[in-house]
Amino acid sequence: MTESNKKCRLVILISGRGSNMQSIVETIKSKPLPAEVVAVIANKADAQGIQWAKDQGLVTEIVEHKRFADRQQFDKKLAQVIHQYEPDYVLLAGFMRILTPEFVQQFEGRLINIHPSLLPLFPGLHTHQQAIDAELQWHGCTVHFVTPVLDHGPIIAQGIVPVHHDDTAERLAERLLPIEHHVYNQVVQWLAEGRVRLLPNGRVQVSDQPHRAFVA
Ligand code: GRF
């Protein structure tokens, strides 16, 4: 952040387990990072990560998508709730909802996602199985700025793991998860330090960071 003692305000959106969220929260706690998680929001009342966040004393909110007639209305409410917390960045961490362009545009340049593939390969679901089926020898994850196109947008960082010849989708997902945590934490650190810029040409620049690639 530019002002010396201002902390970077983060809202994290989850749908389930929330291990990426947990890892970000723990990293912020353990390092002297100028960042704070001001709210964790889930679109499902039974999202496991919400209980964990509550136990940590974090502010939590549930905005259940199933209570809304359509995507537009859900996104409108979700945006209202997020705005209350005045975040510098909104981090999607296993948030399994497609967001409307109206929602994305409101948070342009401040909305970040992690996707479990080396984008632009394999947007959408079943990324691990797709990597196996394609006989890729490397699989990975991408942290990127969100645009209205699903799992698409300027890439901030990527991490890779090897694919083993006898992998199942479950085993590969398990191998990838620690590098997901590592890459997302690294990006949060860069964001908190005010080092990430989304350039007018759509490219990303991270100051003093010549490489943004991580290997397990
Ligand atoms: C992660 O693999 C993330 O990349 C994907 O969904 C999974 C969520 O895991 N979008 P968690 O909820 O962070 O544990």
Answer whether residue 165 shows pLDDT above 60. yes
Residue of 65, 115, 139, 144 marked active site: 115
**Extended beta strands in 15-88, E state:** 35-42, 60-62
Indicate whether residue 123 lines ligand 1 (CB < 6 A): no
pLDDT confidence of residue 5 = 75
The finding on whether 22 has its CB within 6 A of some atom of ligand 1 is no
Residue-wise pLDDT tens digits, 15-61: 999 999 999 999 999 998 999 999 999 999 999 999 999 999 999 99
pLDDT computed for residue 32 by the predictor: 86
Bridge partner list, 10:
37, 89
pTM of the model: 0.96
Instruction: Give the per-residue pLDDT at 69.
Output: 96
CA distance 49 to 42: 8
pLDDT-derived band at 3 (thresholds 50, 70, 90) equals: low
59 — phi, psi (to 5°)? -75, 130
Q: What is the pLDDT of residues 103-142, one digit of tens each?
A: 999 999 999 999 999 999 999 999 999 999 999 999 999 9
Mutate-to-test residue for ligand 1 from 43, 122, 180, highest number of ligand atoms within 8 A of CB:
180
Contact assessment for residue 18 and residue 53, using Cβ atoms and an 8 Å cutoff:
yes
Whether 18 lines ligand 1, by a CB cut-off of 6 Å, is yes
The share of the chain scoring above pLDDT 90, in percent, equals: 96
- pLDDT at position 104: 97
- The CA-CA-CA angle for residues 43, 1, 7, to 5°, reads 55
